[in-house]
Structure 1
Amino acid sequence: MPHIHLGEGSFPLWALVLWTLIGTALISTVVYRVRKGGIKTHQIALAGIGAAASFAIFQLNIPVWGGIHMNLTGLVGIIAGPLLGAIVALVVNVFSAALGHGAVGLIGANTLINASEAIVAYYAFKTLIGMDWDVFPAGASATTLGLSVGSFLMAAIIVISGVNGSALPRGDLTIAVAGLAGLNLGVAVVEGILTGLIVQFLASVRPDLVGLTDRDTQEEATGVTA
C-alpha cells in the first residue's frame, strides 16, 4: 500500500527536512497524548502484534510500478487505536528502512502516510459502527478509506517535493504519480476486504478487541429491559 520506495537522495534536502519535521511533530503529539491519557495494557499487546504482522506483510513487495504491497495499517488502527497506530507506523518504517525497504531520509514522509491510514481507519470504523453498520462492511470501508487517504497523501508529497534527477516535467510527474495512486486504490479495496474479514472474525470471538463490548452490552441490557 502507499509507501514511497524512492532511494536515498531522491528528494531535495528542503523536502526531507519538511516531512521529517512534520512527522516528528505528529509523533511528538501522539506521545504527549499517550503520556497524558495513558493506555490500557491490552492495547500495548495488540499494538505489538499489529506491528509484527504489519512489518511481516510489509516486506512482501510486488515489483509493479515502483512496488506495491499490503501493510495492514487499517487493521492496526482499528484494533490498537489511532495513537498507538501512528507509533506502529513509525516503528514499521524505521525497521523497514533499516532493511533497505524505503530510504532512511523518507521515514518522516512515510510515517505521515501510514499513520494517516491508521488514524482515518480508526475514526471511520467507529463512525460507521455508530451508524449501526455491520462489522464486515464497516471494517472494509474504513480500511479502504484510510488507505485511499494514504494514497493521495503519498502522491501529494511526491509531487510537492519533486524527484532529484527526474527528467519529467512537474505535469508529467503528476500524471505518473496519479497512475501509481490509482493502482494503490485498487489494492486498497483488496486489503479492505481482507481487513473486514479479520475484524469480523475478531468481533465474533473477542468483540472487546475491536471496541464492540460497550455496544454489545448495551444491546443486551436493552433486550432485558424490553
Structure 2
Amino acid sequence: MHIHIPDGFLPIWLWVLGYMLMMLFIYIALTKINEDNPKKIVWASAIAAMMLVAMSIPLGIPYHLNLTVLAGIILGPWWSLLACFVVNGVLASFGHGGITIVGLNTLITWFEALTGLYLYKNLRKMLEKASITVGISTWTSLTLSALLVIGLVAVSGVNPALAMHHETSTGQISITTFAFLTLFFALPGAAVEGVITALILAYIKRVRPTLFEEEGL
C-alpha cells in the first residue's frame, strides 16, 4: 500500500514530517549497512527492480502488488528501507503520486517490509511450513499497512478520493467510504500477494539456498 495524493494537497507539516523521519532512518541505514553483507547490494538492486515493476502494473482496481515483504525478508531492515526509498522516488518522478508524498510512502512501504520480516521470523519458530508463514506474514503486514494509510489520510484532512488510484478517484468521498474501499480491495489483494511472495521465495530458496542459510531464514 501507498498513498497516491498529488502534490499541493497534503498539509505541509505532514509531508515535511514524513521527509524528516525518512531522512533520519536513511542516515541510520547508511551507518548500518557498512557492517552488513556487501553482496546485499546486488540483491537490493534486483528486489527494487521487481518492486518497481510490480507497483507499475495497473490491475484496473485500486490495488497493486508491492513485494515489500519479499524485500524485508531477503534484504533485512536497512537495505529494504533503501530499496523502498529508491522505488518510491522513481515512481513519483513518473507521476505515480507526488514528490511531496515520497517521504510518507517510503515509511509506509518500509513499515510493510519490517512487519513482514519480523512476523516471518517469529512465526517461522512456530509453523513448520515456510509458505504458510510467508503468506500469513504478508497478509498481516499489508492489512496493517492499509489501516495505516487510512489513518494518515484521515489525519491529513484531504479529500480521500485523491488517495485512490485514478480509476476511482472522482468526486468527493468520505473517509468511511475510503476505508471501506481500501479494505475491500486490500484484504483479498494481500492474500494474493501472500501467495505470490511465497512462490517467489520458494524459487529463490531452490536456486540460492545459501542465501537463506546466511541470513538464518
1:190 Cα offset (Å): 0.3
Going from structure 1 to structure 2, the CA distance change for 1:176 and 1:132 (only over 3 Å counts) comes to closer
1:140 Cα offset (Å): 1.4
Q: Which residue of 2 aligns with 1:49?
A: 46
Q: Which residue of 2 aligns with 1:173?
A: 175
Secondary structure of 1:133 counterpart? coil
The structure with the largest alpha-carbon Rg is: 1
TM-score normalised to the size of structure 1? Answer: 0.83
Contact 2:9 2:158 in 1 (8 A): yes
1:200 to 199, 202, 209: 202
Alignment map for 1:5-20 (pairs within 5 Å): 5-20=4-19
Q: Which residue of 1 aligns with 2:36?
A: 39
TM-score normalised to the size of structure 2? Answer: 0.86
Q: How many residues align?
A: 208
1:153 to 144, 148, 159: 148
The runs of 5 or more residues in structure 2 that have no matched partner are 162-170
The runs of 5 or more residues in structure 1 that have no matched partner are 216-226
Going from structure 1 to structure 2, the CA distance change for 1:93 and 1:165 (only over 3 Å counts) comes to closer
Contact 1:57 1:70 in 2 (8 A): yes
Going from structure 1 to structure 2, the CA distance change for 1:9 and 1:197 (only over 3 Å counts) comes to same
Is residue 96 of structure 2 the alignment partner of residue 101 of structure 1? Answer: yes
Contact 1:78 1:122 in 2 (8 A): yes
**Larger CA deviation: 93-102 vs 127-136:** 127-136
Query: What letter is aligned with 1:141?
Result: I
Secondary structure of 1:70 counterpart? coil
2:85 to 82, 90, 97: 90
Deviations 1:105-130 (A, max 9, x none): 00011011100111111111111222
Contact 2:160 2:178 in 1 (8 A): no
What is the percentage of aligned positions where both structures have the same residue?
A: 29
Deviations 1:147-200 (A, max 9, x none): 12221111111111111698869xx32442342134212211100111011112
Contact 2:77 2:114 in 1 (8 A): yes
Q: Which residue of 1 aligns with 2:55?
A: 58
1:98 Cα offset (Å): 0.6
Contact 1:125 1:139 in 2 (8 A): yes
Going from structure 1 to structure 2, the CA distance change for 1:211 and 1:142 (only over 3 Å counts) comes to farther
Going from structure 1 to structure 2, the CA distance change for 1:26 and 1:178 (only over 3 Å counts) comes to farther
1:30 Cα offset (Å): 2.4
RMSD: 2.3
For residues 121 and 94 of structure 1, the distance between their equivalents in structure 2, rounded to whole angstroms, comes to 22
Going from structure 1 to structure 2, the CA distance change for 1:141 and 1:165 (only over 3 Å counts) comes to closer
Q: Which residue of 2 aligns with 1:133?
A: 128
Poorly superposed stretches of 4+, deviation over 3 Å: 164-169, 210-215
Deviations 1:57-95 (A, max 9, x none): 11112343xx32112111111111121111101100000
1:48 Cα offset (Å): 0.9
For residues 26 and 199 of structure 1, the distance between their equivalents in structure 2, rounded to whole angstroms, comes to 27
For residues 110 and 11 of structure 1, the distance between their equivalents in structure 2, rounded to whole angstroms, comes to 13
Going from structure 1 to structure 2, the CA distance change for 1:200 and 1:6 (only over 3 Å counts) comes to same
